[in-house]
């Protein structure tokens, strides 16, 4: 193995784990040695090193390590691209890149014949921008241009202050830009995760590069998809933990409750003689309620394997609506069905899927009842084919939900109702996943909520 390959990983690991604050003394020697190594070989070995580093990292540190490793390879490639003692032609290009960008007419780094390093930067999935010490924007890649939603050539050469009021940047982008800048300056955070107004999670990092006369490298990566995967994994972990709790409750509490119920029934004649039979009825009612909660625990931990059968979606929704109509009328709600494809078919456990639909419709009626603004309550249920899935939408015009409530909606035990157990939607989530489907929620405060249920379509 080449000597640089042996030294590469320790230097990368120390940089990543110390947030770039500690750099090994061998780094300069490594950069000089890499000047003769093809960039493809460096990138390939870097990828292997990062995978090895992540295999030993804690789950909560992996995303941060990935981002810091990106900063490491970017700074390294810049140094490799501009070694000391390069040929005169390379020196001329180096002088051009390092030249001060105080003038707004400063030529961008991209040319008609871009070099290989610039091509690598342009095709990164992270947004990359380079500012000089005076705050002038000298370079940004295609991904950063997409994030800012503005042409690259119109931005290059602008100062930091000019970007806050740039005519080509949308107001929402400028507000996000200003908010992130203020937060970083106020709390001296040069590596952090931010959420923009559209709900995207952005990993932002700023680092100073001595090899470029102290210029500042800004990198931004959209990690929304990773967040969704992380949240899904966290949800599954919570459901697995819930399964263990439910099993323990079933064994430790259910049997004693059965014994207590039996003895209360034996005591009923005595209670009746002394005029206290109401006490016995209340005790039996509370025991039955405790048994119902235990039953919900068991269902939420591991719903039984679905006994699938082919069924028309329209027929299934019609039966569900009939079961809910009487309660809807009592709550002042109207339920409307619209099936765009009468022959839309799915293979499901009818009992379990009905349980999901009834649970969501019941929540919709509660939301409408709690709103009480004089408007007629309305629940719209639609079904249509979307790709390989049957999409069932259940939409209400109730009170809606805040973002904080929405993010915890499927958490076990989380509820906004005084008498709720917080298990209904977690059970529904597990049932839909067991059927190979997905469930999403969209809600606006005081406007209403829509549940979107995707179930695999069958011929």
d(CA 206, CA 130): 10
Q: b/e for 224-233, b at 16 or more Cβ within 10 A?
A: eeebeebeee
Annotate 185-240 with DSSP letters as a single string: HHHT-SEEEEE-TTS-EEEEEEEEEGGGTTEEEEEEEE-HHHHHHHHHHHHHHHHH
- Region of 386 on the Ramachandran plot (φ > 0 left; ψ -120 to 50 alpha; else beta): beta
Listed in sequence order, the residues at least 6 apart from 302 whose beta carbon sits closer than 8 Å to its beta carbon are 243, 246, 430
> pLDDT above 90 covers what percent of the chain?
12
Q: Is the pLDDT of residue 93 over 60?
A: no
| Strand-pair category, 345-348 with 377-386 | unpaired
Q: Cα 282 to the chain's mean position, in Å?
A: 46
Confidence of residue 98 (pLDDT cuts 50, 70, 90): very low
Beta-carbon neighbour count of residue 78 at 10 Å?
19
* CA pseudo-torsion sign 157, 162, 167, 173: positive
Q: Is the pLDDT of residue 99 over 70?
A: no
Q: Which residue has the tokens 């906004």?
A: 416
Lowest pLDDT segment from 86-90, 215-219, 329-333, 423-427: 86-90
d(CA 196, CA 174): 11
- Summarize pLDDT for 431-442 with one digit per residue, the tens: 898 899 999 999
Q: b/e for 348-380, b at 16 or more Cβ within 10 A?
A: bbbebbbbbbbbbbebbbbbbeebeeeeebbbb
Beta-carbon neighbour count of residue 134 at 10 Å?
11
Q: Is the pLDDT of residue 388 over 70?
A: yes
Of the two residues 407 and 364, the one the predictor is more confident about is: 364
d(CA 6, CA 20): 20
Beta-carbon neighbour count of residue 266 at 10 Å?
8
Of the two residues 359 and 205, the one the predictor is more confident about is: 359
Q: Please compute the mean of the pLDDT values over residues 358-383 and round it to a whole number.
A: 85
Q: Is the pLDDT of residue 109 over 60?
A: no
Confidence of residue 214 (pLDDT cuts 50, 70, 90): low
Confidence of residue 385 (pLDDT cuts 50, 70, 90): very high
Q: Is the pLDDT of residue 341 over 90?
A: no
| Strand-pair category, 377-386 with 438-444 | unpaired
pLDDT at 380: 94
pLDDT at 60: 66
Of the two residues 348 and 173, the one the predictor is more confident about is: 348
d(CA 229, CA 333): 37
- Region of 378 on the Ramachandran plot (φ > 0 left; ψ -120 to 50 alpha; else beta): beta
Radius of gyration of the chain (CA): 31
| Strongest mean pLDDT among 108-117, 289-298, 299-308, 320-329 | 320-329
d(CA 46, CA 38): 13
| Strand-pair category, 333-339 with 377-386 | parallel
Listed in sequence order, the residues at least 6 apart from 330 whose beta carbon sits closer than 8 Å to its beta carbon are none
d(CA 233, CA 107): 47
Structural contact between residues 134 and 100, judged by C-beta atoms closer than 8 angstroms:
yes
Confidence of residue 197 (pLDDT cuts 50, 70, 90): low
Question: Is 130 strand, coil or helix?
Answer: strand
Q: Please compute the mean of the pLDDT values over residues 216-242 and round it to a whole number.
A: 76
Confidence of residue 265 (pLDDT cuts 50, 70, 90): confident
pLDDT at 37: 84
Beta-carbon neighbour count of residue 337 at 10 Å?
14
Lowest pLDDT segment from 105-114, 168-177, 277-286: 105-114
- pTM of the full structure: 0.42
Instruction: Look at residues 251, 246, 277, 255 and name the one whose alpha carbon lies nearest to residue 264.
Output: 277
Q: Please compute the mean of the pLDDT values over residues 28-57 and round it to a whole number.
A: 79
| Strongest mean pLDDT among 33-42, 214-223, 339-348 | 339-348
Which backbone phi and psi does 106 adopt, to 5 degrees? -60, 130
Of the two residues 22 and 150, the one the predictor is more confident about is: 150
pLDDT at 420: 66
Q: Please compute the mean of the pLDDT values over residues 375-391 and round it to a whole number.
A: 91
Of the two residues 223 and 263, the one the predictor is more confident about is: 263
Q: Please compute the mean of the pLDDT values over residues 244-271 and round it to a whole number.
A: 79
d(CA 444, CA 447): 5
Task: Provide the token pair at 367.
Answer: 């939301």
Q: Is the pLDDT of residue 21 over 80?
A: no
How high is the mean pLDDT of the chain? Answer: 76
pLDDT at 360: 92
Confidence of residue 19 (pLDDT cuts 50, 70, 90): low
- Summarize pLDDT for 63-92 with one digit per residue, the tens: 777 777 887 887 777 776 654 434 333 444
| Strand-pair category, 127-131 with 215-222 | antiparallel
| No. of helices (H) and no. of strands (E), the chain | 16, 12
């Amino acid at each position: 193995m080449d000597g640089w390959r042996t030294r590469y990983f320790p230097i990368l690991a120390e940089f990543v784990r110390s947030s770039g604050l500690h750099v090994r003394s061998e780094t300069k020697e490594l950069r000089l040695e890499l000047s003769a190594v093809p960039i493809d070989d460096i990138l390939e070995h870097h990828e292997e090193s990062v995978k090895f580093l992540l295999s030993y990292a804690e789950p909560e540190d992996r995303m941060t390590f990935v981002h810091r490793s990106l900063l490491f390879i970017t700074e390294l490639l810049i140094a490799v691209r501009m070694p000391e003692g390069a040929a005169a032609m390379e020196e001329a290009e180096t002088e051009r890149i390092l030249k001060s960008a105080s003038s707004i007419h400063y030529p961008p780094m991209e040319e008609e014949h871009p070099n290989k390093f610039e091509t690598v930067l342009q095709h990164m999935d992270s947004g990359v921008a380079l500012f000089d010490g005076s705050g002038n924007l000298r370079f940004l890649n295609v991904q950063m241009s997409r994030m800012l939603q503005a042409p690259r050539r119109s931005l290059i050469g602008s100062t930091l202050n000019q970007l806050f009021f740039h005519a080509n940047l949308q107001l929402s982008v400028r507000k996000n830009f200003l908010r992130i800048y203020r937060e970083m300056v106020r709390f001296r955070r040069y590596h952090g995760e931010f959420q923009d107004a559209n709900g995207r999670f952005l990993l932002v990092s700023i680092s100073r590069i001595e090899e470029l006369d102290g210029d500042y490298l800004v990198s931004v990566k959209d990690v929304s998809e990773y967040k969704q995967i992380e949240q899904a994994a966290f949800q599954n972990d919570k459901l697995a933990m819930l399964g263990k709790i439910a099993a323990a409750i079933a064994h430790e509490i259910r049997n004693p409750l059965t014994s207590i119920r039996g003895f209360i029934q034996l005591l009923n004649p005595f209670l009746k003689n002394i005029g206290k039979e109401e006490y016995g009825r209340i005790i039996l009612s509370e025991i039955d309620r405790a048994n119902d909660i235990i039953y919900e625990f068991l269902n939420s931990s591991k719903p039984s394997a679905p006994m699938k059968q082919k069924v028309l979606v329209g027929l299934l929704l019609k039966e569900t609506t009939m079961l809910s109509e009487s309660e809807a009328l009592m709550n002042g709600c109207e339920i409307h069905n619209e099936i765009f494809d009468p022959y839309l078919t799915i293979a499901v456990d009818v009992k379990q899927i009905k349980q999901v639909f009834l649970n969501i419709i019941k929540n919709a009626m509660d939301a409408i009842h709690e709103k009480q603004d004089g408007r007629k309550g309305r629940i719209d249920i639609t079904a249509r084919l979307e790709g390989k899935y049957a999409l069932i939408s259940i939409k209400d015009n109730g009170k809606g939900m805040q973002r904080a409530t929405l993010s915890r909606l499927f958490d076990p035990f989380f509820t906004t109702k005084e008498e709720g157990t917080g298990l209904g939607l977690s059970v529904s989530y597990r049932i839909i996943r067991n059927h190979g489907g997905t469930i999403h929620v969209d809600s606006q405060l005081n406007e209403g909520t829509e549940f979107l249920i995707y179930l695999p379509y069958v011929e």
